[in-house]
Amino acid sequence: MPAGSYSDQRPIGENLYLLDLIKTAIENALQNLIPPSEQLNENFTRLKEICETIFTFCKEHPELCKFIAFTIGGMITIPLLLEVAGFSLLGPVAGSFAAWWQSRIGNVAAGSLFAWLQRMGMLPATKVATGALVGFAGFLWVEINKVVPLMPGGASQNSTGQGMRDLNPMHRGYAALKQRLCTRAMKTDFNFSNLLGTVYCNGNLVFTPDGASLLSPVGNRVTCFDLANNKSFTFSFAHRTNVARIALSPQGTLLLSVDQHGRAILTNFIRRTALYNFNFKNKVYDLQFAPDGRHFAVATGRTIEVWRTPTVSHEREFAPFVKHRVYTGHFDVVTNITWSSDSRFFLTSSKDLTSRIWSLNPTESFVPTTLGGHKESVVGTYFSADQETLYSVSKDGAVFTWKYTGPKRREAELEDDPEEAEDPSQQRWRIVKKNFFMQGSATVKCATYHTASDLLVVGFSTGIFSLYEMPDFNLIHTLSISQKEIDFVTINKSGDWLAFAASKLGQLLVWEWQSESYILKQQGHFDSINALTYTPDGQRVITAADDGKIKIWDTSSGFCIVTFTEHTSGVTACAFAKRGNVLFTASLDGSIRAWDLIRYRNFRTFTAPTRLQFSSLAVDPSGEVVCAGSLDSFDVHLWSVQTGQLLDTLSGHEGPISTLSFAGDGSSLVSGSWDRTIRIWSIFGRTQLSEPLQLQSDVLSVAFRPDGRQIAACSLDGEISFWSVQDAVQTSHVDGRRDVSGGRRITDRRTAANSAAGKNFTTVTYSADGTCVLAGGNSKYIVLYDVDTGSLLKKFTVSINLSIDGTQEMLNSRNMTEAGPVDLIDDAGEASDLEDRIDRSLPGASRGDASKRSVKPQIRVTSVSFSPTGRAFAAASTEGLLIYSLDNAHTFDPFDLEMDITPATILATLARKEHLTALVMAFRLNERHLIHRVYEGIPAGDVRLVVKELPTVYLSRLLSFIAKLAEESPHLEFHLLWFESVLSVHGRYLRENAGRFGSELRMVQKCVVGIQSELARLADENIYTLDYLLSKPTSTPDAPKLLTAKGAKTDSDEDSDESIVEDEDESTNGERTRWHGFDSDSD
């Protein structure tokens, strides 16, 4: 039959679609080739039915089958099935089959696979000639097993027959092979979840309308701090440069953020979804919504633009943003905009020493007014509550009070001509009062005014803020909150909380001025983060930085719990003991410190005999031995945690020690060095000898697989090599130079592809199941590889922020001058303010405070680590601590969706009390708020019935949802009831498929442990209060006595342990005794 003749019988598009279905079916069948024994017959029957369907199709369209064979030749099933159907196609695809066989199954399962197919009736007796393929697989088994032993214990098999017998389903090798074939592929759809390690960079702060949350710009992202629930999250959208200004609509639905280049992103604040991108084509200095939410004003240089707010109205507009008016008149940059309460007027403040009053719409008899008189640039101008008074604050610490009055005259003149005193033509805005509050040599950096409570807050360049009551200008507070200048201050709607931000130290504070207490006090790392590690329960992340601080971050809330500052120099490494709450850190100050995370104290310090700068660290899983390496010495030092004594020094490397790692079982220690070798040490053995594993370049990082049988090593040439621990041979490698390279620095003379910088990995870690490795380096990418095939699964872009060097693929040649790149030319001397013209940076400094660098910070990833749950990973980068997670509740990701599954039908089904149907429909729509509503709408008595009938396909989603909801919901008993029902009803299924539900079960364990710890803490804190409340009341001669009726038990009864007075019907009048309470008149 000529090629393409089948198109007369079936359209090509339909055939290709069917081809895709066949490919999917084959892949699903291959994943279940060797299922658990109790499901063997059922799954093979299903596979047989799939094969029979493919046979029928193959006989009808032989030419298409050849196309299938050559397209998907990497799979063994299709060539085999085509051979059974009568086509001789095994020869052309033998090479592809061999490659697939080697990477997927280990080249050992051919004989047993064919035997099982024959036994199940899936191979006709006439086709047993395919035994030649069995011999081919056996030959591959003998050759490959020399490098990658598959059999338990690593014993090499010398004969093909012995290898085939070991692969019998009844043999012990069956378990290992089944695990490799049936392991569920790790999910790669990790998405950005949160940003820790940084709380404020630059820009303004905004409170939400309810005053319970605070928005803060963090680099090119925006973070929201929930002050009521003690949580934080970072929006997923990112700007091209650092965020300069943000504004939130009065309704709290729209968030508008603008970067330093004037590009804006309009976001649905509730759904956390970016709606529209817009370019103001100029730098934005201020951004404010009108109180009615219909307009917003933007200060772009010397002009003010007013735009209409996008709304769901009957007015149909082509563009979301429609310009209303443009206002000009200032001679310098406009720095502040303030709206009136009725949204009819607004005030602007500028560096031209003046303020102006503008009207939103042309108003009769209104003329824009200029308010002058200040000697320095005006920081802000504000309306009073009645809008009859204005307050202007300047940089030199002056507050002017303005009123709309006539000229000031003597009382005698007013009595002679009273009509002239009320002449409207003589009235204008005039200064009626001047107040000065200069704090020494400090200058005013920011100010804000709360209209309802008449509070004026001023922040100074020395880190001091002052709180005044207007209009009398009474000083309420003066407090120093930072060692650097306060960049921004704002007040919430109720006027109780004051928010301050200092970019120099990365500080963010919320102060309640009435109680004089902190609501929020957070600070990021002053310098770049060097290392990170997860706690064994995955609830916290520890970061270590060059500023000498160690911070502990709560992954669920996003807040820093505690900061350790005992190190006197940069901290280079940190590690957590798997047993016990003990953290170990290594520093350049020559010490290794052990921290107790229960009492939050340093309980042990380890030092070497000579002064060394430690750069690497590893801890025995039991927490009894700690090892450290240094770039100054070529030895590995071992200490005992209990005694603090130096146990041993491991010698053998001929270069500085760059990395250390312990095996999961603690049996081996691996060290990597700049001498291009890896050494595996058995530190608990009788001898300390180790043979070096030679690499082609300097070793930068090593990591043990969780089972301790394999090592991944990163080298300077950009390769990741995998080594067998038992055989001490290299099993495979990945060339990642092309994958990790990306981003051209502004000083590079070559393109990003040809530049040698950044083409290597500096950190690597294994996933929880050991099937993947995650690596990062001095580039903007984090790379995820599959260990078995060495294929690239996914690349994660750390940042697209152009304010950081190394994020651009191409550079603009117009920015290159004879003096160097334009971005590196210091133009601070042209600033208008004196403090901005002063150069405080050290000559040639490239590290330290980002605001004082003479060069731009460069993008890099210093450390990566997977969460123990496997649902997230963390990366320490220039931007901060990035968290990527598989759980994103604000992403619409429906599951098995149909046309009739809508929010309305789900709620209607719930109203009819069809709880199971409503829960399944909610999971299929995958809207978190709907799932939450249905979940809490199910009565507690029906939980077990719903769980019993729930399809197992939804168990993973149910467990994940409850585990995340229990962290923020007070219905603890209800959640535990669901957990108990799921584990009781589906416990056997969960145990048989523990590999599939491993992440979900860890999340459940984390949730239950968190509930237990919170209840235990609450009980411990109130144990003495409970003892006091439950104690027996005692009577004293001077204190009021408790009167009880006749027969009631008193404290003098030694035989009674009860402290409750019992009512007895023993009174003389036949009435029941009553509790009379305190009698103040008793003697």
Instruction: Write the pLDDT tens digit of every residue in 42-101.
Output: 544 555 555 556 556 555 555 555 444 444 433 444 444 444 433 333 333 344 444 444
Once rounded to an integer, what is the mean pLDDT over residues 471-485? 90
Give the list of residues 6+ apart from residue 989 with CB closer than 8 angstroms, or none: 952, 955
pLDDT at 895 exceeding the cut of 70: no
pLDDT at 992 exceeding the cut of 90: no
H/E element, 411: helix 411-416
pLDDT digits (tens, 9 = 90+) for 405-434: 877 655 555 555 555 555 666 778 899 999
Once rounded to an integer, what is the mean pLDDT over residues 988-1006? 79
* Integer Rg of the chain from CA: 36
For the chain, domain boundaries = 5-182, 199-276+301-323, 329-407+426-436, 440-523, 529-812+858-885, 903-1023, 1036-1083
CA-based torsion, 118, 119, 124, 128: positive or negative: positive
Determine if the peptide bond prior to 471 is cis (ω within 30°): yes
Q: What single letter denotes the amino acid at residue 92?
A: P
The rounded distance, in Å, linking the Cα atoms of 342 and 843 is 53
β-pair partners for 1056: none
The rounded distance, in Å, linking the Cα atoms of 224 and 272 is 11
Give the list of residues 6+ apart from residue 667 with CB closer than 8 angstroms, or none: 682, 684, 708
Strand order in the sheet with 231-234: 206-207, 213-218, 221-226, 231-234
Whether the CB-CB separation of 725 and 668 falls below 8 Å is answered with yes
Predicted confidence at residue 633, as pLDDT, reads 85
The rounded distance, in Å, linking the Cα atoms of 1063 and 1049 is 9
Predicted confidence at residue 100, as pLDDT, reads 42
Give the list of residues 6+ apart from residue 629 with CB closer than 8 angstroms, or none: 614, 615, 616, 617, 635, 636, 637, 656, 657, 658, 659, 660, 671
* Domain boundaries 903-1023, corresponding CATH code: 1.25.40.190
Predicted confidence at residue 779, as pLDDT, reads 87
* Domain boundaries 440-523, corresponding CATH code: 2.40.10.480
Q: Where are the beta strands (DSSP E) in 67-218?
A: 191-196, 206-207, 213-218
Weakest mean pLDDT among 2-11, 12-21, 630-639: 2-11
pLDDT at 181 exceeding the cut of 80: no
Pairwise pLDDT comparison (972 vs 465), residue with the higher score:
465
Q: How many CB atoms lie within 10 A of CB 24?
A: 10
Model confidence band, residue 853 (pLDDT cutoffs 50, 70, 90): very low
Closest CA to 387 of 357, 351, 348, 354: 357
The rounded distance, in Å, linking the Cα atoms of 1029 and 1081 is 25
Weakest mean pLDDT among 118-122, 460-464, 477-481: 118-122
Pairwise pLDDT comparison (829 vs 554), residue with the higher score:
554
Ranges of H-type helices in 966-1077:
972-985, 987-992, 998-1021, 1023-1030
Weakest mean pLDDT among 59-68, 239-248, 919-928, 1007-1016: 59-68
The rounded distance, in Å, linking the Cα atoms of 488 and 285 is 13
* Measured distance between the N- and C-terminal CA atoms of the chain, rounded to whole angstroms: 119
Model confidence band, residue 773 (pLDDT cutoffs 50, 70, 90): very high
pLDDT at 889 exceeding the cut of 90: no
Weakest mean pLDDT among 241-245, 357-361, 454-458, 738-742: 738-742
Predicted confidence at residue 704, as pLDDT, reads 92
Question: Which tokens hold the place of 524?
Answer: 């990021």
H/E element, 604: strand 601-607
Predicted confidence at residue 234, as pLDDT, reads 93
Q: How many CB atoms lie within 10 A of CB 288?
A: 20
Question: Which tokens hold the place of 459?
Answer: 């922040």
DSSP state of 129: G
Distance (Å) of CA 946 to CA 30, 953, 956, 975, 993: 33, 14, 15, 14, 21
The vertex-453 CA angle with 449 and 458, nearest 5°, equals 30
C-alpha 203: how far from its chain's center? 22
The chain-wide mean pLDDT, for the chain, equals 76
Once rounded to an integer, what is the mean pLDDT over residues 381-390? 92
Once rounded to an integer, what is the mean pLDDT over residues 870-896? 79
Fold match between domain 440-523 and domain 529-812+858-885: no
Question: Which tokens hold the place of 810?
Answer: 């191409």
Residue 224 backbone phi and psi in degrees, to 5: -110, 125
Whether the CB-CB separation of 250 and 292 falls below 8 Å is answered with yes
- β-pairing, 560-564 with 872-877? unpaired
Closest CA to 720 of 694, 746, 700: 700
The rounded distance, in Å, linking the Cα atoms of 813 and 820 is 11
Residue 173 backbone phi and psi in degrees, to 5: -70, -15
Q: How many CB atoms lie within 10 A of CB 1066?
A: 12
Q: At what angle do helices 77-85 and 12-31 cross, to 10 degrees?
A: 110
Q: At what angle do helices 998-1021 and 955-965 cross, to 10 degrees?
A: 20
Predicted confidence at residue 183, as pLDDT, reads 38
Q: Which residues of 514-550 are buried (b: 16+ CB within 10 A; e: fewer)?
A: eeeeebbebbbbbbbbbbbbbbebbbbbbbbbbbbbb
The rounded distance, in Å, linking the Cα atoms of 624 and 644 is 10
Predicted confidence at residue 2, as pLDDT, reads 36
| Long-range pairs, 502-506, Cβ under 8 A, ≥24 | 502/200, 502/463, 503/200, 503/201, 503/202, 503/851, 504/849, 504/851, 506/198, 506/199, 506/200, 506/201
Pairwise pLDDT comparison (688 vs 539), residue with the higher score:
539
Predicted confidence at residue 1049, as pLDDT, reads 43
Give the list of residues 6+ apart from residue 278 with CB closer than 8 angstroms, or none: 263, 264, 265, 266, 320, 321
pLDDT at 158 exceeding the cut of 60: no
Model confidence band, residue 592 (pLDDT cutoffs 50, 70, 90): very high
Residue in this structure with the two tokens 């970061």, named with its chain if needed: 543
Once rounded to an integer, what is the mean pLDDT over residues 365-372? 88
Once rounded to an integer, what is the mean pLDDT over residues 525-549? 90
Distance (Å) of CA 671 to CA 617, 663, 700, 755: 10, 11, 10, 29
C-alpha 908: how far from its chain's center? 36
Model confidence band, residue 300 (pLDDT cutoffs 50, 70, 90): very high
pLDDT digits (tens, 9 = 90+) for 480-493: 988 889 999 999 99
Of the ranges 516-520, 904-908, 1059-1063, which is most confident? 516-520
pLDDT at 855 exceeding the cut of 70: no
pLDDT at 392 exceeding the cut of 90: yes
Predicted confidence at residue 404, as pLDDT, reads 86
Predicted confidence at residue 578, as pLDDT, reads 77
Model confidence band, residue 16 (pLDDT cutoffs 50, 70, 90): very low
Whether the CB-CB separation of 177 and 167 falls below 8 Å is answered with yes
Predicted confidence at residue 24, as pLDDT, reads 52
Model confidence band, residue 6 (pLDDT cutoffs 50, 70, 90): very low
pLDDT at 178 exceeding the cut of 60: no
The rounded distance, in Å, linking the Cα atoms of 788 and 712 is 12
β-pair partners for 403: 389, 430
pLDDT at 553 exceeding the cut of 90: yes
Q: How many CB atoms lie within 10 A of CB 436?
A: 10
Pairwise pLDDT comparison (1025 vs 108), residue with the higher score:
1025
The rounded distance, in Å, linking the Cα atoms of 720 and 955 is 37
Once rounded to an integer, what is the mean pLDDT over residues 958-977? 85
Give the list of residues 6+ apart from residue 747 with CB closer than 8 angstroms, or none: 820, 821, 824
pLDDT at 401 exceeding the cut of 90: yes
**What percent of the chain has pLDDT above 90?**
37
Predicted confidence at residue 826, as pLDDT, reads 60
Once rounded to an integer, what is the mean pLDDT over residues 568-579? 89
- Classify domain 529-812+858-885 by CATH architecture: 7 Propeller (2.130)
Question: Which tokens hold the place of 202?
Answer: 């630059």
Please, is 146 exposed, middle or buried when counting C-beta atoms within 10 Å of its C-beta (0-12, 13-18, 19+)?
A: exposed
Predicted confidence at residue 501, as pLDDT, reads 94
Pairwise pLDDT comparison (37 vs 772), residue with the higher score:
772
Whether the CB-CB separation of 1008 and 1035 falls below 8 Å is answered with no
pLDDT at 144 exceeding the cut of 80: no
Number of DSSP helices (H) and strands (E) in the chain, helices first: 22, 60
Q: How many CB atoms lie within 10 A of CB 1012?
A: 10
